[in-house]
Amino acid sequence: MNTLIIGDIVGRVGRNILKEKLKEIIEENKINLVIANAENAAGGNGITRKVADELFEMGISALTMGNHVWDQKEIFNFIDDEKRIIRPANYLPNTPGRGSSLLNINNIKIGIINLQGTVFMQCNKNPFLSADDEVKALREHTNIILVDFHAEATSEKIALGHYLDGKVSCVYGTHTHVQTADEKILSGGTGFITDVGMTGPYDSVLGMDKEKIIKKFTSSIPVKFDIAKGPAQINGLVVNIDENTGKCIDIYRINKNYI
């Protein structure tokens, strides 16, 4: 089965380009399942009920999150009841929402795990040990497991890939908003990429207006960021998984700039 993973969707620009192009990408790549990172889907910050529904209606089956998960306060109203939204599993106890989810797509069970890095990021539970717990629980139901590791440092991301090699179908990074060119199948059969990239404004800094970010880096004054305007890009990853073994048998990047 072919899974399409979409990198961090940024704002309306990101959602609109998907509305326009997702069907085409699905057909071209014979995609059976689409999931996406949606931590920036609502105006660059977090997600709302309306934005989530907009994405589900496009045919996206599940949304993983990251450090921006709580940016829109209304998420606390629906995250506990929405099985298709998954926040980092290594958050501290008593956090709303779930860190993994088991989907049933055309009678195939697929486990999805979200984890957040700790290097250069807030210190939560150790993501490697949390991954062990989540993988163990999901493998009682399926061996098709996808792991979104939302992290900054390349070392932490690649290390988790090797750590979970042979235990899950794919470990893919998100958060840096820049797609990496290191997609591969590890020796144990796990697909891997350091970062899937970003789906949103092409001519920008991580989706944000570039002049604002430059001002931030060249002054000692706080700067309010705006989402950039102009043409869009879609960054994604196609992972072909053997339904019996859960192994990754093919992996390639989607990198489209609609300029």
Dig out the tokens for 57 from the structure: 């209606």
Angle between helices 49-57 and 11-28 (to 10 degrees): 20
Position 226 contacts its own copies (CB under 8 A) = no
Neighbours of 231 (CB within 10 A): 14
Q: Which of 214, 245, 249, 250 binds its own copies (CB under 8 A)?
A: 214
C-alpha 213/C-alpha 209 separation (Å) is 7
Position 64 contacts Fe ion (CB under 5 A) = no
User: Least Å distance between CB 106 and its own copies?
Assistant: 31
C-alpha 214/C-alpha 216 separation (Å) is 5
Return the range that interacts with Fe ion (CB under 5 A); candidates 1-9, 110-118, 135-143, 237-245: 1-9
Running DSSP on this structure, what letter comes out for residue 218?
A: T
8 binds, among Fe ion, its own copies, none (CB under 5 to 8 A by kind): Fe ion
Q: Which of 27, 57, 81, 94 binds its own copies (CB under 8 A)?
A: 94
Q: Which of 27, 57, 81, 93 binds its own copies (CB under 8 A)?
A: 93
Contacting residues for 90 by C-beta, under 8 A, at least 6 apart: 99, 115, 116, 124, 125, 126, 127, 129, 130, 131
- Per-residue binder mask for its own copies (CB under 8 A), 111-150, x = binder: -------xxx-xxxxx-xx---------------------
The one-letter code for the residue type at 69 is V
Position 253 contacts its own copies (CB under 8 A) = yes
Position 125 contacts Fe ion (CB under 5 A) = no
> CA distances (Å), 216 to each of 121, 124, 200, 202, 227, in order?
20, 28, 21, 20, 15
Nearer to Fe ion by C-beta: 195 or 240? 195
**Is 141 one of the catalytic residues?**
no
> CA distances (Å), 52 to each of 72, 79, 141, 198, 249, in order?
12, 11, 26, 17, 30
Residue 167's DSSP bridge partners are: none
Return the range that interacts with its own copies (CB under 8 A); candidates 22-30, 56-64, 107-115, 191-199: 191-199
Residue 3's DSSP bridge partners are: 33, 239
User: Least Å distance between CB 47 and its own copies?
Assistant: 15
Where along the sequence are the contacts to its own copies (CB under 8 A)?
70, 88, 91-96, 118-120, 122-126, 128-129, 152-156, 158-160, 162-163, 176-182, 184, 187, 194-195, 197, 203, 205-206, 210, 213-214, 216-222, 253, 255, 257
Active site residue ranges: 68
